[in-house]
Structure 1
Amino acid sequence: MKSKDGKGRLSMLSFEAAKIRLLRSLIIETETMQVLDFTVFPESEYDVPIFCANFFTSAKTNIIVMDLNPLHDIINQYEYKEKYFKSLIPLGLKYAEFFSWGGKLTSESINFFSPIVIWTKFTSSPQKYDMLYSAFRDYYKVWLELISKAVKETDKSKIFQNLEAQHRYLTWRAETDPGQGVLNKLVGDTLAKDMLRSFLFNGVDELGSKTFNDYFPHYCCEEGTLNKKRNVVGKSFENRPWNAKGEFLGKIF
């Protein structure tokens, strides 16, 4: 797809496979920036984390988020954290030494990240690009190993919990994704909204009926509208809120 001004190109791919509900990628290339938005969602019969890699590059800066987004609460649910993230802490520490924390993240955003998240900003650097590619390969390989070993859940209540957790994630991302402004500028508001809900966060309108207000009522104003300053609701974390053992150091609210 070409941008409205004809100077930008958007390339989209999506797949499904055994154990994978959706694997999709969006690549944006313009005269001033490059973007990769790559995410893999498991089927609801598996409580495997969501693989997420978001890379934004311009002449002045690089903004990176990469993680195995936990499907369930790893701050309070010890068993889920032990199941998927205990063995991955060394991998996170390896890259945390190279990629500094990128600045404030809201408490709500932290809920969707794991102790091994790479959240960073840096200026152009061939060395950092090489290390970032290495991190992408390592994180994705780990995710593929997790999904390969995952055992299909048969308990309907647990499958529903996985489904609702994924829908909650999709609802959050579709409403708050920072790339919305870029898409609006490139392809217009209507098409951008369709891309967000039908492609990037496919399932937000199909996997559940709850709304953003249902999942995040503290963002709702008395008149029923969303708080326009929702990015400052709750506590913000200016530094990495996990220690070397992957233990959470603060309180969400």
Structure 2
Amino acid sequence: MDCCSFSSSLSLSLSLMLKPRPPLMTINYNGNSQWSKRKKKRHCLLQVSAISYQNFIHFALDETKRHTLLLPSPLQEKYGSMIAMDEQTRLEMLSFETPKIRLLRSMSIEGEAMQVLDFAAFPKPEFDLPIFCGNFFTTANMNIVVLDLNPLHDVTSRRDYKEKYYDCLLPLGLKYTELLPWGGKLTSESIKFFSPIVIWTKFSSSNSKHEVLYSAFMEYYKAWLELMEQAVEDTDPSQITCNLEAQHRYLTWRAEKDPGHGVLKRLIGEKLAKDLLRNFLFSGIDELGSKTFLDYFPEYGIEDGTINEKRSIIGKGFENRPWDKNGEFIGNDLRN
């Protein structure tokens, strides 16, 4: 969820939908850094649309098992489920690993006002696989979607990487980017984390559109699993180091600038939101490298040594899709 328009839409939607916080919170964070849950009567959640993102998760896990051995991640012991401070919205976290996947995880949010799915698969550093990314935000009237195989390495300067992973997927991307058109201005900072087949779209809620989205999710994930299955382990230490730093840079950006932070902050508070972002959704920041956000993105530094909270400091974006049908970047002609 790396775009200013996504962030603005989320903030506006939440300000209109979320109820004032009750004085009693239903989730506590104990001294042992574990999620602790009080037993509560299960709420009957009102569906904001005809579709639940649970079938996305079930499909992905079942399909993964067809390709590889799926094992629980150690994170599953800490991050399970919780009820938000409005006592109505439920958050569910699942996490796994495989011989080639460092972390396969999902977070779903279901409540009266919205449904959210944040699903991702991060490869182990020995593989230069793209990062699978599915971020979906739904209300009764609106859907905001990012679906992509985020490139580990730049596809413009690294022609070999584009040819290796994306050239064969361009027909798939064209199919769904026509059905799910470009969703509006995307920041220049964000675009470098996306691939030529990214689906960035917004649409009014309807059964037909959700069916298209589910189909796109299934086909994109199947394509990613086939790439994963064919991936050959790197043995060159310098290439592994390059893969590791590329993934660490991605995680560092997402944990700091992900607009989903606003959603989580309103639901579970600032402390838990930051923990969930850094240690679950983008786990690996502390393990894969020692560089800080400002080491990677010094342009965001301000005089007192802190990070500029703006999501875009370049001030340029892309109103239209910045790749042509061959996956060539044409953004220099579209930038405004």
When the two structures are superposed, what TM-score results if normalisation uses the length of structure 1?
Answer: 0.97
What residue is the counterpart of 2:187 in the other structure?
106
2:331 alignment counterpart? 250
Contact 1:106 1:232 in 2 (8 A): no
Aligned match for 2:230, one of 142, 149, 153: 149
CA distance in 1, matches of 2:152, 2:182: 22
Residue 232 (structure 1) shift: 4.1
Kept in 2, the 8 Å contact 1:74–1:114? The answer is: yes
Aligned Cα root-mean-square deviation (Å): 1.3
**1:88-237 alignment, distance < 5 Å:** 88-237=169-318
Q: Name the amino acid aligned to 1:3.
A: A
Q: String of CA shifts for 1:43-97, please: whole Å, max 9, x gaps.
A: 0000000000000001221000000000001011111111100111110000011
TM-superposition CA deviations, 1:204-251 (whole Å, max 9, x none): 121111111111111112332222334242521111000011100023
Amino acid at match of 2:157: N
Determine helix, strand or coil for the equivalent of 1:205.
helix
* Structure 2 portions without partners, runs of 5+: 1-81
Q: Which residue of 2 aligns with 1:9?
A: 90
- Alpha-carbon separation, structure 2, partners of 1:135 and 1:197: 28
Report the alpha carbon displacement of residue 124 of structure 1 after superposing the two structures with TM. 0.8
Residue from 52, 61, 73 that aligns with 2:133: 52
Q: Distance in 1 between matches of 2:309 and 2:245?
A: 25
Distance in 2, Cα, partners of 1:58 & 1:250: 31
**Deviation digits for residues 187-214 of structure 1 (CA, Å, limit 9, x no counterpart):** 1111111111110000012111111111
Q: Write the distance in 2 (CA, Å) between the matches of 1:123 and 1:86.
A: 31
- Which has the larger displacement, 1-10 or 223-232? 223-232
Structure-2 residue corresponding to 1:79: 160
Q: Which residue of 1 aligns with 2:65?
A: none
User: 1:107 Cα shift?
Assistant: 1.1
| SS of corresponding position for 1:243 | coil
- Greater gyration radius: 2
| Residue-pair matches, total | 253
Task: State whether residues 219 and 233 of structure 1, in contact with CA within 8 Å, keep that contact through their aligned partners in structure 2.
Answer: no
Separation in 1, partners of 2:121, 2:269: 26
Is 1:108–1:234's contact at 8 Å kept on the other side of the alignment?
no
Q: How far, CA to CA, are the matches of 2:189 and 2:109 in structure 1?
A: 27
Tell me, which stretches of 5 or more residues in structure 1 are unaligned? Answer: none
Do the aligned partners of 2:300 and 2:313 also contact (CA within 8 Å) in 1?
no
Identity among equivalent positions (%) equals 66
1:102 is displaced (CA, Å) by 0.7
Contact 1:171 1:211 in 2 (8 A): yes
1:31 equivalent in alignment to 2:91: no
Distance 2:92 2:198 in 1: 26
CA distance in 2, matches of 1:20, 1:234: 35
- Secondary structure of 2:312's counterpart equals helix
